[in-house]
Amino acid sequence: MKQTIKSALAAVALVLGTVPAVFGASDGVRIEHLGLNNTLVRVTGNGKYVMLPVEDSKDDARINVLSDGRLDRTINVRLAQSKVDFYVPFDITPYKGHELVLNVVTPQGRSSIREAQDDACWKNITVADTFSVANTEKHRPAYHHTPQWGWMNDPNGMFWKDGVWHLYYQYNPYGSKWQNLSWGHSTSTDLINWEHQPVALEPDGLGMIFSGSCVVDSANTAGFGKDAVLAMYTSADVSQVQSLATSTDGGRTFTRFPGNPTLTLSSEARDPNMFWNDKTGEWNLVLAHALDHEMLIFTSPDMKTWTLQSAFGKGEGAQDGVWECPDLFELPVSGTDEKKWVLICNINPGGPFGGSAAQYFTGEFDGKTFKADTDASGKIPTKWMDYGKDHYATVSWSGAPDGRRVVIGWMSNWQYAAEVPTRQFRSANTLPRDMELFKGHDGQVYLASVPSPELLALRDRLAVSVRGAAVNTKGKSFALPAGNGGVCEISLDINAMKADSVELQLSNHQGEKVIVTYNPAAHTVAFDRRESGNVGFSQNFPAVTVSPTFETGGRINLRMFIDRSSIELFGDGGRFVMTNLVFPDNPYTHMTVRSFGGKAKVSDLKIYSIK
């Protein structure tokens, strides 16, 4: 039959003087090669998904999805040329009963149609009823939120409603690198266990769906109904404009506002973060004026019309990279009657150890203008939320209960996020953290990131418990729990006494190690991951990160959360924090504590395995 069609076409081509299309077939699809870079895939079989074969290192093919001949959407996929790294499912259930054709334009670089025909994707593209999301990767975290497959960057649009924590995130469902940005969605009732939900927002005619925020409109100011969930996000194509979407089913599905975009500027601006301001009785919106290194502050009565009130940041704080993903909220300062506003400005690059990082400013906000605190010399100091390399795009949940201000970050760095040694998914979120303000010895107000209390529920068996132990250069070793890929929580107090430094070394039998060093005279903790495991995928990965400890008196408390590819270190109840990825070939099996220059004391050491 195929042969007959082919010869018939060849005959027609002969008459018309053209070259015939070349046909192929795979399970459930019929393939027509039209030219060097253009192939039609007709979906003929029944099933739920077209399984798209991906080769991670190749360039994107552009796929126009035609339903009954009309363009329904365009997706970009790194279709396999020489080998299939993994598959991504394209859901075809919405097209049941319609003719479905994928019009594929592959990247340039073929010299003949024969070569193009041989691409691995054409032999392997199929229609299937199931797609397995079982984990096959040793570096997938055991207790951090990750997408089931595909690429993730910023957390965004988070809100709490009726006992549910909603987490949306920058998501590519069709590959493990940044592309097709949509809002993925997960929900949790305990901030630990996450349930994956359908994608909430997908690219449209205004562009990809970049980061933004959600609020619950309890007073129905916008007219979409009491308690409607309102999302504002950046529509990103050639330009970046701000759009509104509304949900009346608690954030599961969204309807785009017909008048989008609701806010346009003639320069790059993104990541709208909005909140209801009780004091002024109107909406506030902070927008990252990315290339101008500042945050713009707007007001609105109804979320549809916005008035620019002020800009903050030009020339202030770290200015090296673009300013992105803002957040603005008020908190009490622990141990005082004061309250302060905190303006979070994620920047990339320009972080203290290269690449992405979250800086913040403390100060006053009157609903229109943010005025940052200054130091003794009258300058606005640069402050960082986290002194690791893998803490970015951190923003908070809107409407968290009990006055809490809970944040979560993207646990990666733009320097190497697309190169980390995972395959079918890329990136995890940090653990959730409750924000608190405290006064440092220099009189400045600082942000503490307290591990959220929900994390206590992760603790399983108490594997090691040591009331007190003296350490010296020889050191003491403690076995880490071996089960569940070595995931654990370690908590301990260190008294440096006369020692110049105290070192915690996490290591395995292959000699892979992470070294955490407390230096009481410098008031710092350093985290060295240069020999932590696989560090070779990017020259920017091996690093030593250093955090101020804000303490005096040579004593610190540390809580470390170890997952399969990350370590989060919280000092003194979150007053200093370091989040760093690590990719050991095998889990770390031991922690060795040593001191140099004198004896030190470790007390209340507890190592918990994790459920």
User: Where along the sequence are the contacts to ligand FRU (CB under 6 A)?
Assistant: 153-154, 170, 181, 210-211, 234, 270-271, 324-325, 393
Cβ atoms of 285 and 305 closer than 8 Å: no
Q: In angstroms, rounded to a whole number, what is the distance separating the alpha carbons of residues 238 and 135?
A: 37
Q: Which residue is nearest to ligand FRU (CB)?
A: 210
Cβ atoms of 485 and 564 closer than 8 Å: yes
Closest to 283 in 3D by CA, of 261, 299, 306? 299
Nearer to ligand FRU, 144 or 270 (CB): 270
3-state SS assignment for residue 502: strand
Residue with tokens 């469902």: 173
542-576: string of b/e by CB count within 10 Å (b at 16+)? ebebbbbbbbeebbbbbbbbbbbbbbbbbbbebbb
Nearer to ligand FRU, 325 or 543 (CB): 325
Q: In angstroms, rounded to a whole number, what is the distance separating the alpha carbons of residues 177 and 422?
A: 11
Nearer to ligand FRU, 228 or 393 (CB): 393
Residue 460: which residues within 8 A CB-CB, separation 6 or more?
608, 609, 610, 611
Nearer to ligand FRU, 271 or 294 (CB): 271
Nearer to ligand FRU, 135 or 538 (CB): 538
Token duo for residue 18: 């053209």
Chain centroid, CA 256 distance in Å: 24
Nearer to ligand FRU, 234 or 429 (CB): 234
Residue 96: which residues within 8 A CB-CB, separation 6 or more?
none
Torsion angles phi and psi, residue 195, rounded to 5: -105, 130
Q: How far is the CB of 145 from ligand FRU (least distance, A)?
A: 16
Residue 271 annotated in active site: no
Token duo for residue 489: 């929580």
Amino acid residing at 387: Y
Interior angle at CA 179, CA 176 and CA 182, nearest 5: 100
Q: How far is the CB of 406 from ligand FRU (least distance, A)?
A: 20
Number of residues assigned to the chain: 611
Nearer to ligand FRU, 23 or 178 (CB): 178
Nearer to ligand FRU, 391 or 575 (CB): 391
Q: How far is the CB of 236 from ligand FRU (least distance, A)?
A: 7
Residue 100: which residues within 8 A CB-CB, separation 6 or more?
42, 43, 65, 66, 67, 92
Token duo for residue 9: 């076409």
Residue with tokens 């619950």: 216
Catalytic residue among 119, 154, 327, 386: 154
Q: In angstroms, rounded to a whole number, what is the distance separating the alpha carbons of residues 505 and 513?
A: 7
Nearer to ligand FRU, 55 or 154 (CB): 154
Q: How far is the CB of 178 from ligand FRU (least distance, A)?
A: 6
Q: How far is the CB of 172 from ligand FRU (least distance, A)?
A: 9
Q: How far is the CB of 607 from ligand FRU (least distance, A)?
A: 34
How many CB atoms sit inside 10 A of residue 23's CB? 16
Establish how many alpha carbons lie within 13 A of residue 14's alpha carbon, considering only the half-sphere containing its beta carbon: 6
Sort 129 into a burial class: Cβ within 10 Å, 0-12 / 13-18 / 19+. Answer: exposed
Token duo for residue 534: 């696989």
Q: How far is the CB of 168 from ligand FRU (least distance, A)?
A: 12
3-state SS assignment for residue 213: strand
Token duo for residue 610: 């994790």
Q: How far is the CB of 205 from ligand FRU (least distance, A)?
A: 18
Q: How far is the CB of 302 from ligand FRU (least distance, A)?
A: 24
Q: How far is the CB of 181 from ligand FRU (least distance, A)?
A: 5
Using CA atoms of 389, 390, 392, 396 in order, give the dihedral in degrees to the nearest 10.
Answer: -120
Cβ atoms of 588 and 513 closer than 8 Å: yes
Nearer to ligand FRU, 242 or 595 (CB): 242
Asked if omega into 261 is within 30° of 0 (cis), the reply is yes
Establish how many alpha carbons lie within 13 A of residue 337's alpha carbon, considering only the half-sphere containing its beta carbon: 0
Show which residues are catalytic: 154
